[in-house]
C-alpha cells in the first residue's frame, strides 16, 4: 500500500473549471470519503487520479511516483463503479481476469488471483455466470472482487452503492469495511450521502460547488464526531 497525494490539481474543460487547486492526502490504510452534491467535481477528481482524465495543472503522486503521464493500468489503482462496468458478453471469471491480463500476469497467476478474490467474497459459485444472470448486489460484489484481485495501493469507489437497494447498500459498505480491516486497504470513496458513509470513514472531504474543505466541526454537528 502507499500514500496518495494530490497537489494543486486543476481541471478545465474549455473555459469551465471543473476542479480548482485541489490538495488531498490519503494516508496508507486510510478510508477517505469525498462528499458533495452532483456536479461539484467529485467524479472528475476520481478520473484524474485513475488516469482517465488529464490534469490541466498540478501533480498526483502514488507512493513516491509522480503519475501524471502514467497509463491507468500502471498506477496501482483499482476502481469500483456505480454502474458495475462489467462486460456483458464475459463471464464473472472473465470480467475479473480482464484487468490482470492488461497487467501482463501469467495465466496461472490470473487463475489463482481470481479464485482467491472469489473465495474471499463468497462468490465462487458465480464465476461462470454472465452479468445479466446476477442481481445488482451480486454485480457490485464482482466489481469489488475485480478490484481486490489486482492488489492495488488504492481502491477508488465512485458512488458504488447509489444504484442499490438500501438493504444491499449496507451489505456492500460492510463488505468494504471488512476488506479494509482484513487487508489494510486504502480507499477513496465518492458519495453524496453522509448518512451512508459517515460511520466508516477515517477522513471526510466535503466538496461544495466552489471549493474543497475538511470540516470536522460540521461532522461533529451531524453526529459523527
Rounded Cα gap, residues 112 and 60, in angstroms = 32
Residues 183 and 52: their CA atoms lie apart, in Å, by 26
Architecture, CATH, for domain 1-73+191-225: 3-Layer(aba) Sandwich (3.40)
Cβ atoms of 142 and 80 within 8 Å: the answer is no
The per-residue pLDDT for range 181-212, each reduced to its tens digit, is: 888 888 998 877 766 666 667 888 876 655 55
Element (H, E) at 7: strand 4-13
Query: What are the extents of the domains in the chain?
Result: 1-73+191-225
| Spatial separation of the C-alpha atoms in residues 150 and 213, rounded to whole Å | 31
- Phi–psi pair at 43, nearest 5 degrees: -70, -35
pLDDT in tens, 133-164: 999 889 988 999 999 888 888 999 988 887 77
Separation CA 21–CA 12 (nearest Å): 11
Rounded average pLDDT over 17-36: 87
Q: Would strands 187-191 and 31-35 be described as parallel, antiparallel, or unpaired?
A: parallel
Strands 154-158, 77-80: pairing kind: parallel
pLDDT score of 169 more than 70: yes
Q: What average pLDDT does the segment 66-89 reach?
A: 89
- Does the model's pTM come out above 0.75? yes
Q: In terms of C-beta density within 10 A (0-12 exposed, 13-18 middle, 19 or more buried), how is residue 215 classed? A: exposed
Q: Mean pLDDT check: name the lowest of 50-54, 67-71, 181-185.
A: 181-185
Amino acid at each position: 500500500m502507499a500514500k496518495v497525494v494530490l497537489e494543486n490539481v486543476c481541471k478545465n474543460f474549455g473555459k469551465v473549471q471543473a476542479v480548482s487547486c485541489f490538495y488531498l492526502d490519503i494516508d496508507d490504510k486510510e478510508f477517505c470519503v469525498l462528499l458533495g452534491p452532483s456536479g461539484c467535481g467529485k467524479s472528475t477528481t476520481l478520473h484524474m487520479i485513475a488516469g482517465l482524465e488529464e490534469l490541466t495543472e498540478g501533480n498526483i503522486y502514488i507512493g513516491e511516483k509522480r503519475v501524471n503521464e502514467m497509463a491507468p493500468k500502471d498506477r496501482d489503482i483499482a476502481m469500483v463503479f456505480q454502474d458495475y462496468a462489467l462486460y456483458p458478453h464475459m463471464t464473472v471469471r472473465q470480467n475479473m481476469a480482464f484487468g490482470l491480463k492488461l497487467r501482463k500476469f501469467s495465466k496461472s497467476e490470473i487463475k489463482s488471483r481470481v479464485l482467491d478474490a472469489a473465495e474471499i467474497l463468497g462468490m465462487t459459485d458465480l464465476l461462470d455466470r454472465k452479468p445479466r444472470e446476477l442481481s445488482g448486489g451480486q454485480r457490485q460484489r464482482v466489481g469489488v472482487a475485480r478490484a481486490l484481485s489486482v492488489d492495488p495501493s488504492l481502491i477508488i469507489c465512485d458512488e458504488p452503492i447509489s444504484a442499490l437497494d438500501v438493504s444491499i447498500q449496507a451489505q456492500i459498505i460492510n463488505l468494504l469495511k471488512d476488506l479494509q480491516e482484513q487487508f489494510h486497504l486504502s480507499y477513496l470513496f465518492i458519495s453524496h450521502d453522509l448518512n451512508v458513509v459517515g460511520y466508516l470513514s477515517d477522513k471526510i472531504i466535503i466538496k461544495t460547488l466552489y471549493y474543497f474543505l475538511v470540516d470536522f466541526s460540521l461532522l461533529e454537528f451531524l453526529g459523527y464526531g
